[in-house]
Structure 1
Amino acid sequence: EPLVLIAPPGENRADVDLGELAEKRFVATETGCVYRAMVDTAFTEAGLGGPKLAAEAGSIDAIAGLVAAGAGFGLVPRLAVAAALDRGEVAE
């Protein structure tokens, strides 16, 4: 399932490099969740260490809500946030 980087509305930029992204705060699922493992792996494989966490949430909907409120960025399954993207609540 494809993951997408979501950001608060208006913070989507195509020119962000990985170094800049590593400095951002992220909202992620809790340790032990398969999506959290995917986030941690993506950062590690990019040589960025672990993500800087603003919060941990128990669901993808909660992550989207926190991202929409400006708490940070999220790396989530696109299908799970498609409606939030369509409504403009978060940016891809």
Structure 2
Amino acid sequence: MEKMKFATLLLALVLVSSLLETTFVQGGSPFCDSKCAFRCSKAHLQKRCLKYCGICCEKCNCVPSGTYGHKDECPCYRDLKNSKGEPKCP
């Protein structure tokens, strides 16, 4: 009986993790997904960083190199602002 509960739990975890992964991948292009994954690799708020980086990448078709800074490499990415007038892109 315990083995059956463990197997059911394991199966549920695998299904949930595959759904979450699919949701992330469907959001953008392979280019943006890979560039943003690196850009946000050291971010404290990973999901938020990936979300906004993906939005900015789709609009600008570029992501600055590195995990922070270098925004002059991509002026469109650098110049996007949120509703408060603050930088939108990580």
Whose RCO is larger (CA < 8 A, sep 6+)? 1
Q: Which has the higher strand share?
A: 1
- Report which of the two structures shows the higher radius of gyration computed on alpha carbons: 2
TM-score (norm 2): 0.26
TM-score, normalised by the number of residues in structure 1: 0.26
- Greater helix share, 1 or 2? 2
